[in-house]
């Protein structure tokens, strides 16, 4: 992200205390801040614009008893997309493979039905790959949907690198915890999934059952369809590679705004 030339894009979810999405807000209802300094909003979009989503299916050995559920979840997500939205499907274990390119197809590629649980878990690498692919998409609203038990043990990329690339691509990460009750690595996995969601402005969904899983994916699609997109040019033009905190405040105190926590400035 070239801060001195490019806009910073923020996809903002606004809801009331009961979680009901707020419609009809205007540009003047928002204030943007970077490191505590107010920024000028360059553009504002409230319409239901298309989004691009990368769905990441964990097929590592630890997911042996959950592959079918994860695959069903991916199908459920595709079924819920609107006509103008696009999605790609990836699976990851010791390696990452794209099994379906970005398209408006609502049918899961046949190869996805032959996936078997095996190998280690390269969660960070998978998020990094999805973020880089999303960064080349024309849609301003971008999301990474992760279905995993979250216990990374194979990636070459760090959590920070994966997260930084997702944030640079303006991709919101939604994580669905597929870990099993009582598994020894569950707490570590939950922590990793919660971290990715919280810092990118997304949402963490706890271990789902069938109906809960369906409702989770319907709510993710609904959220992506009802976000506000704001852009700004940072007043801080320094190319120092430092983390910049981003904040959104609303003129209506009864509403809550959720977006990514910030971004890392480029460095010469």
Phi, psi angles (nearest 5°) of residue 118: -170, 155
pTM score, whole prediction: 0.89
Tens of pLDDT along 215-238?
777 888 888 888 999 999 999 999
pLDDT of residue 208: 63
Q: Are the C-beta atoms of 52 and 87 separated by less than 8 Å?
A: yes
The stretches in the chain having pLDDT less than 50 are: 1-5
Q: Which two tokens stand for residue 101?
A: 């390119």
Q: CB-hemisphere CA count at 13 Å for 245?
A: 4
Q: How far is CA 205 from CA 82, 128, 147, 193, in A?
A: 22, 21, 10, 9
pLDDT of residue 165: 95
Q: Are the C-beta atoms of 263 and 240 separated by less than 8 Å?
A: no
The crossing angle, in degrees rounded to 10, of helices 159-168 and 123-134 is: 20
Q: Are the C-beta atoms of 232 and 33 separated by less than 8 Å?
A: no
CA dist., res. 164 & res. 224, Å (int)? 21
pLDDT of residue 57: 94
pLDDT of residue 248: 97
pLDDT of residue 2: 38
pLDDT of residue 5: 45
Tens of pLDDT along 36-52?
999 999 999 886 778 99
Q: CB-hemisphere CA count at 13 Å for 177?
A: 22
pLDDT of residue 117: 85
pLDDT of residue 4: 39
Could you give the domains of the chain? 8-48+226-264 (no CATH), 51-225 (3.40.50.410)
């Amino acid at each position: 992200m070239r801060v001195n030339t490019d806009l910073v894009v923020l996809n903002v979810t606004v809801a009331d205390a009961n979680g009901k999405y707020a419609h009809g807000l205007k540009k003047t209802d928002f204030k943007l801040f970077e490191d505590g300094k107010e920024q000028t909003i360059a553009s504002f979009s409230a319409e239901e614009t298309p989004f691009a989503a990368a769905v990441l299916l964990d097929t590592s050995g630890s997911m042996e008893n959950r592959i079918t559920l994860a695959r069903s979840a991916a199908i459920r997500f595709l079924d819920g997309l609107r006509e103008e939205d696009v999605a790609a499907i990836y699976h990851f274990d010791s390696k990452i493979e794209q099994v379906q390119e970005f398209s408006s197809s609502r049918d899961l590629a046949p190869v996805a039905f032959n996936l078997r649980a095996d190998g280690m878990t390269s969660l960070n690498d998978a998020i990094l790959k999805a973020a880089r692919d999303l960064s080349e998409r024309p849609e301003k609203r971008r999301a990474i949907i992760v279905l995993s038990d979250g216990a990374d043990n194979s990636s070459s990329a760090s959590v920070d690198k994966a997260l930084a690339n997702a944030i640079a691509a303006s991709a919101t990460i939604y994580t669905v915890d597929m870990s099993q009750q009582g598994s020894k690595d569950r707490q570590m996995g939950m922590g990793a999934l919660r971290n990715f969601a919280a810092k990118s402005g997304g949402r963490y969904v706890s271990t789902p059952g069938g109906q809960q899983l369906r409702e989770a994916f319907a709510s993710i699609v609904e959220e992506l369809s009802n976000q506000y997109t704001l852009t700004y040019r940072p007043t801080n033009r320094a190319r120092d590679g430092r983390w910049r905190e981003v904040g959104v405040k609303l003129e209506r105190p009864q509403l809550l705004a959720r977006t990514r926590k910030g971004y890392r400035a480029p460095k010469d």
